[in-house]
A and B are shown apart, each in its own frame.
Chain A
Amino acid sequence: MERIVFGTLPYDVAHLLGGAVLLLSFTLLSQRRIAATINTYALQAVVIAASSCWQAYVQHAPHLYLTGALALIAKGVVIPLALHRLVRRLRLSHGVETALGIFPTMLLGVGLVTLSIMVVLPTTVQSQALTREDLALALSVVLLGMLMMITRTSALTQVIGFMSLENGLILAAVSVEGMPLVVELSVAVLVLVAFVVFSTFFLRLRAQFDSLDTRHLDRIGSAHR
């Protein structure tokens, strides 16, 4: 296995794809429409797929192609289509309800990226440059996914945030050499399970409160208390 070094084509492309994933995470944060959010998520999944295929090619690890195909089909096509159908079936409003303004969220996002860089870089001095940076990128994507989950009030956008977080995990998994396939498969299955769980959860929520706003759940909680 040749070493991936800074300034060579394998490094550059992997780096750029990782950056594109991060950029799409920011785009997700800045969207105001549900449909656009879903499409951005799909695009992010496609880039993840491209990234794992590139890693498969560079690392000569054919199992990563499988990961890429999984990401492409499940997250790039099936899930977005299902979500679009969900939006239509539930007749959800097209806007994204935010708990915090778009710009402050973005500002927080930049802060989180800075934080993850400052955390990852010193702790991984021994590793290769690519691994270090991709880990920093992946951690940023994970944190941005979490940020999306806490700054959006509608359950659907929270789910998308969660799945984008999972994209970050995949990014981390594929960029480290020698990671076995098991991990990716389990992660992918996890997402599917989560997806099913959340779908039923939507339906319940919808049936009971005629809305997807999780604040209703808070109200139940406080009522119990």
Chain B
Amino acid sequence: MTEYCLPALALVMACLLALGVLAALTGPRLAYWGSLALCGTGAVAVLIYLIGGARAGSILVPFGLAGQPSVLALDGVSGFFMLLLMLAGAAATAAALDDHNRGPGTEDGTDNATAPAFPIFLGGMALTLLAGDAFALLAGFEAMSLASFALVLTHHRQPPVRAAGLLYLGMASLSALCLIAALALLSAHGASFSAMRARPPEGVRAAFVLALVLIGAGAKAGLAPLHVWLPPAHAAAPGPVSALMSGAMTKMAIYVMIRLLFDLSGPAQPIWWALPLLAMGVGSAVLGAFRANIETDVKTILACSTIENVGLVVVGLGLAMAARAADLSALAGLALGASLLHAFGHGLFKTVLFLGAGAIQHATLTRKLQRLGGLASRMPITTGCMILAAASLAGLPPSAGFASEWMLLQTVLGAVRLGGLGLQIMICVLAAGVVLAMALAASAAVRLIGVALLGRPRSAEAATAAEAGPPLRWAVLSLSCLVLMIGLFPGAVLDLAEPALRLLATGTMAERAGFMSITPTAEAPGYTAIAVLALLGLAGFAVMAVLRARAVAGHRTGPAWDCGLGAPPPWLPFGDPRLQYAGGSFAQPLRRVLGGTLLATTATLDMPPPGDPRPATYHETETDPAETALFQPTARLRTELTRFADRMQFLTVRQILTVMFGLLIGLLAFVALVEQL
């Protein structure tokens, strides 16, 4: 039965792409319903494939470069990511349907125009996963990039959206350029993956492949320092689209990274390959998690936390690569298992959070933390689901996030066996960075939930918010249940990832990941989520029983001990919202301690002297280090180059001839030099 899975998935993919074209003619309703059905079918097909053992297979399709067929292939790795894509896709589509049902909301009624891009986005991601040669991979990757660019521009009448879209397009072009170059280097003996696998790159060529893939796929995944596009683009896109971009698209970039670096570059790469991955991973994790504590837009916060999580996944990949290079296949399996589990869990819980953020935006017409609050009693289902997902974000047991972060930390502990003292000390520092990022993420999660959903409403819109519509509610609820189950049975997900681990790391988690618990080594005791839940439940029930027997039942309500809380203004019956802690104030301690180092934050307080009626002002700025270190110099370089080209245009004939002569001589000298070497 599993041999039909690849054709079925190929058909789903083709239908998604065709649906985009069709929807442009008929209307958005078809696009969403069709995508929902196709994603559901795809999820079932790929689940059957993974459970059935995930035997690698490939088919030829008659579309490709002139006169050549393309290869579509499916194996454990792409199957695992396909499952994530189909699940996140189905949930996001349901949410998009809800958006559509409820009309434009804050939006200016333009989302109909971009609806056809939605199935194409899904189809492009599916094609990226199903690709069995360089052409199909690039075609899928580009379809994904362009369709998501169109979707980011849904509300293109707002200037920030246009700016975000432009930045996104620029970074997508960079990714494409680098990936084309990387694949060209890999496909010296043929463009199909099997041909590349037969002759993996070596030496300088391999190093170039590494650098190009890290830039190309890293930019798409949002790895620091190429993450600058991600927060504005995610914030600009509509809820379901940003859910897909964060939950699924960044994982596609991770998949491309795994495919090109682990699979196609072969296992014989040196151990230093891990270093750039580890450095970029830790940098992204810490920076992303810290920015998630500083930002004040709900979706930007979630986007920054995506940077953090991608960083953690890449740290796992780096450790897996180092372990594989050192022939510690058990450790490599653990590291890769942690990465895949985290990617899967993050893909789903981040989708829940983004869909929740979309619901909040619909209900309150804003995403600003300082205008939200008090939604817990008005949107109980969204709140409950978001708290559940945020527990994963914060890495609290027994959530899905804790399970994967636990595995990642175990890998870090095991990684000291990899090399000499220098590497060991580096891994110590890495461990401190990873845990710092995790703790920062916990703080960010508390801040997000505490400010956006709890407390009192900070605006009239928040005070009158209503729960999301049924499709979105069901999508969020069912996905939350799935996240919960992953948290309780992480071993089940690792079982699904088993074919991928065997393929890539030649290490397996099978004897170490039971259905119930995961263990770092075969004999040591590990982490059993269900036992933790049982302990929590037992403790809770015991406390409840004692309280029922001994304590006074019920409760009264009374005014809060308000500490100068002013009389409530007439439009807000619950008190003055400006006295509540909001996003900025919650971030203040961390900002004071770490802000200067990580984000070059500044704060200027202008306090007029007594007697001066001027209002006091307080102004804060922060700058992402990638902007000052990478993007601004690039922009300056561009300006310089333009000026230079401009000057070159107005040279005299003699000067032009001199330049050409100089170039010729230089070229000849270069050739002579190369001949000498």
User: Footprint of B on A, CB under 8 Å?
Assistant: 114, 117-118, 121
Contact = CB atoms under 8 A, between A and B. Distances in A.
Contacts of B425: 114
Contacts of B65: none
Contacts of B421: 117-118, 121
Interface of B: 421-422, 425
5 contacts: A114-B425, A117-B421, A118-B421, A118-B422, A121-B421
Nearest to B425: A114
A117 B422 CA distance: 11
A117 B421 CA distance: 9
Describe B's contact surface by its main secondary structure.
helix
The 5 closest A-B pairs by CB, nearest first: A114-B425, A118-B421, A118-B422, A117-B421, A121-B421
A37 to B, nearest CB: 25
B590 to A, nearest CB: 16
A114 B422 CA distance: 9
Describe A's contact surface by its main secondary structure.
helix
Nearest to B422: A118
A169 B312 CA distance: 44
Nearest to A118: B421
A101 to B, nearest CB: 11
A224 to B, nearest CB: 38
Contacts of A114: 425
Contacts of B422: 118
Nearest to A117: B421
A114 B428 CA distance: 12
A118 B421 CA distance: 8
A140 to B, nearest CB: 14
A53 B585 CA distance: 56
Contacts of A117: 421
B432 to A, nearest CB: 11
A114 B429 CA distance: 12
Nearest to B421: A118
B596 to A, nearest CB: 11
A66 B425 CA distance: 39
Nearest to A114: B425
A225 B381 CA distance: 76
B155 to A, nearest CB: 45
A121 B422 CA distance: 12
A115 to B, nearest CB: 10
Contacts of A118: 421-422
A71 B421 CA distance: 35
A110 to B, nearest CB: 10
A106 to B, nearest CB: 14
B424 to A, nearest CB: 10
A108 to B, nearest CB: 14
A121 B420 CA distance: 12
A118 B425 CA distance: 11
A118 B422 CA distance: 8
A118 B426 CA distance: 13
A114 B425 CA distance: 8
A121 B421 CA distance: 10
A135 B422 CA distance: 19
A118 B424 CA distance: 12
B345 to A, nearest CB: 34
Contacts of A121: 421
A112 to B, nearest CB: 13
A125 to B, nearest CB: 13
Nearest to A111: B425
Nearest to A122: B421
B539 to A, nearest CB: 38
A114 B421 CA distance: 10
A105 to B, nearest CB: 16
A117 B425 CA distance: 11
B430 to A, nearest CB: 15
A70 B422 CA distance: 39
A196 to B, nearest CB: 42
B122 to A, nearest CB: 48
B421 to A, nearest CB: 6
A100 to B, nearest CB: 15
Nearest to A121: B421
Nearest to B428: A114
A71 B660 CA distance: 79
A57 B421 CA distance: 33
A119 to B, nearest CB: 11
A133 B422 CA distance: 17
